[in-house]
Each structure stands twice: as structure tokens, then as C-alpha cells.
């Protein structure tokens, strides 16, 4: 069945004794998109994945996954999802091929041998397919784990920090696999501590802080909340005020001065401002320039700003 949202949760809560790991998690992941759950260590990411994949029962709240109620229709949910993460399902005594065959049989996949070979190829494991998985590197095990979760072609795939600690080559294979899956209509919910990963893969980002979604938006939307850092260094102190006037006009923001460096900066909300235009305008105003820079915000800036704001509001 198709529904607009592959994952829709409302007010999910989970306590572990005194620890309130999730304090009302609201998520809406449109079918066929990649949602990045971005948050620091301890934010509640793994708990969220374990709840949404029926590995843990929520204390409160509700969710629908691929159109089925998480608690009342847990078996139907399980049939439609794949999960991989910090609870490795790979058996080290078996070879890579044997591991995948086992999953294929368990889930009664048609053409298990072909499906297994196809996945081994896709994840760069064909050469090591007949070696025990215990001899695999961390990156290879992670790829095998992901391959296992794809045996059944899940509608919704949950990846808990899929690339944490991986070498760039393994990371790129996993990123390519995620892109390929979404190109074929799979919905992916992945958690990450890496801003770059969310930026690369996610259509939508939910910033999770202290068990709650602190902010949501596309990577571009989250970045536009912060603005572009503009800085100009002038040749002598006499023209600093003129440079500031130009910045004020272009950015609509209050400039700030660094008199020691003869520099003036501002944060522009106007994402159409370009370096050539900035330089042209300063030149036209007769400002002799030493340096000028535009730095678009990174998701790191967004993360620090928004989680700070969140703490201030909560305080
Ligand atoms: N089984 C558990 N027992 C007790 N505390 C837990 C358990 N699982 C998670 N927690 C606590 O819940 C909070 C959220 O953890 P987790 O979901 O693992 O965060 P993340 O994956 O974002 O690092 C943390 O404070 C963690 O210590
Ligand atoms: Mg975790």
C-alpha cells in the first residue's frame, strides 16, 4: 500500500529508569525520501530507531510505519522494514555468502543464490564472499550487515549511524547504496552525528536534541536560518566605515568591526549575494580591498546555533 508518510510518529516517549531518553518524538518522513536524524551522542537517536523498528515498546505516543500501527500491527511493520546499525546481525563463523543465504532462507526470498550474489557484488564483497565474516574489516562487516537488511527489499530502511568510524571507501559504498535505494522508491531513515552525511544524503533533516526534535527542514532551509558570513578586510582604517556602509546595504544586517585587522563583517540572510557583486560594490564605493570572503553556513553552524537556542528556550 502507499501512504504519504512512510514514518509518522507522534509524542513517542521512552524512559530507562531515571533517564528520559525520548521526550515526545514527532517525525513525518514522506514516502520515498531520506530523513536524516541528526544529533549528538546521547540525543536519543538509537532509542528512536529501536522504537520505530519494534525492537522496543514506547512508553507513550504512537507511530505508523508504512501505513501500519507500530504497536498493534508490529508483525506487519516488521515485514516491511529493514534495519541495520549498532546491533550487528552478522555471524562471524559463517562466510559473507552463507550469512546472506541464511537471511534469504529465513525470509523465504525467491532466487536466494542470485539475490545473494547480486548484493555481494553491489557492496564490493564478491572477492571476500567465501571467507568467514570474522576475517572482515569493520567496513566490510558493516556492508554485509547492510546487505543483509536489504535481502527482502524493505519499503522502509532504518540505518543507525551507518558510517560511524568507517573508512572513506566503505562510507562511499554505503552512501551510493542509499542513493540507489531511494532512486528505486525505498524510504530511508538514517541517524548520524555527521553533518556532512545528512547534507549529502537527506531530503529532510530532523535535529534531535535531548530526546526531542529541536528543528526540521531541508539542509538548505536549515542553512538559510543561519545566513552567509561576509567579511571584508580593507587596506586602511579610514575606509572601514565606507566598507561597513556597503555591507549594511547589501546584507541588511548590522556590521561588526575588527579594528585590529581593519576588518568588517556581517551575516547575510540574502543567499543570492555573490563575491563578485560584493567586490564590485566595494570597488564602486572606492574602498581599497585587501580581502573579501563569503562563507556559506555549514550544517555545523546550524547545529550549534539551533541546539543552543533550544537549550536557552528550555532553560
Ligand atoms: N538500555 C538503556 N538503559 C539505560 N539507559 C539507556 C539505555 N539505552 C539508552 N539509554 C540512555 O538514553 C539516552 C539516549 O541514548 P541513545 O538513544 O543511545 O542516544 P544516541 O543514539 O543519540 O547516542 C542516553 O542518555 C542513554 O544513556
Ligand atoms: Mg546511537
Q: Which residue has the higher pLDDT, 35 or 305?
A: 35
Atom of ligand 1 nearest to the CA of 50: 17
Residue 106 banded pLDDT, cuts 50, 70, 90: confident
Place of cell 552512501: 175
Say how many residues make up the chain.
315
Rounded to the nearest integer, the mean pLDDT of the chain is 90
* Most confident of the ranges 3-7, 55-59, 297-301: 55-59
Residue 311 banded pLDDT, cuts 50, 70, 90: low
User: Which residues face 192 on adjacent strands?
Assistant: 38
Three-state DSSP at 199 gives helix
pLDDT at 1: 47
pLDDT at 201: 94
Percentage of the chain modeled with pLDDT above 90: 68
CB under 5 Å of ion ligand 2: residues = 45-46
The pTM is what?
0.81
Q: Confirm or reject: Cβ of 82 under 6 Å from ligand 1.
A: no
pLDDT greater than 90 at residue 45: yes
Percentage of the chain modeled with pLDDT above 70: 95
User: Closest residue (by CA) to atom 12 of ligand 1?
Assistant: 21
Angle, CA of 94, 97 and 98, to the nearest 5°:
40
Amino acid at each position: 500500500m502507499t501512504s504519504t508518510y512512510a514514518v509518522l510518529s507522534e509524542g513517542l516517549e521512552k524512559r530507562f529508569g531515571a533517564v528520559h531518553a525520548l521526550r515526545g518524538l514527532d517525525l513525518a518522513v514522506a514516502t520515498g525520501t531520506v530523513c536524516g536524524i541528526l544529533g549528538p551522542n546521547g540525543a536519543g537517536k538509537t532509542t528512536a530507531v529501536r522504537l520505530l523498528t519494534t525492537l522496543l515498546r514506547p512508553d507513550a505516543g504512537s507511530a505508523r510505519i508504512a501505513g501500519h500501527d507500530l504497536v498493534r500491527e508490529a508483525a506487519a511493520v516488521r515485514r516491511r522494514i529493514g534495519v541495520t546499525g549498532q546491533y550487528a546481525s552478522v555471524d562471524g563463523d559463517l562466510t559473507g555468502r552463507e550469512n546472506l543465504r541464511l537471511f534469504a532462507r529465513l525470509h523465504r526470498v525467491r532466487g536466494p543464490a542470485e539475490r545473494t550474489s547480486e548484493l555481494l557484488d553491489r557492496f564490493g564483497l564478491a572477492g571476500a564472499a567465501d571467507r568467514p565474516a570474522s576475517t572482515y574489516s569493520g567496513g566490510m562487516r558493516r556492508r554485509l550487515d547492510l546487505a543483509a537488511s536489504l535481502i527482502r527489499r524493505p519499503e522502509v530502511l532504518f540505518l543507525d549511524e551507518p558510517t560511524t568510524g568507517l573508512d572513506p571507501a566503505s562510507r562511499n559504498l554505503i552512501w551510493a547504496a542509499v542513493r540507489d535505494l531511494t532512486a528505486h522508491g525505498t524510504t530511508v531513515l538514517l541517524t548520524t552525528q555527521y553533518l556532512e552525511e545528512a547534507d549529502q544524503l537527506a531530503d529532510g533533516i530532523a535535529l534531535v536534541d535531548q530526546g526531542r526534535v529541536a528543528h526540521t527542514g531541508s539542509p538548505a532551509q536549515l542553512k538559510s536560518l543561519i545566513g552567509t558570513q561576509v567579511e571584508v578586510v580593507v587596506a586602511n582604517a579610514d575606509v572601514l566605515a565606507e566598507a561597513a556602509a556597503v555591507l549594511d546595504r547589501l546584507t541588511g544586517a548590522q556590521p561588526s568591526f575588527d579594528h585590529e585587522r581593519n576588518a568588517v563583517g556581517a551575516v547575510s540572510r540574502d543567499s543570492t549575494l555573490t563575491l563578485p557583486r560584493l567586490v564590485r560594490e566595494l570597488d564602486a564605493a572606492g574602498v581599497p580591498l585587501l580581502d573579501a570572503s563569503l562563507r556559506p553556513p555549514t550544517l555545523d553552524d546550524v547545529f550549534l546555533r539551533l541546539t543552543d537556542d533550544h537549550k536557552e528556550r528550555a532553560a
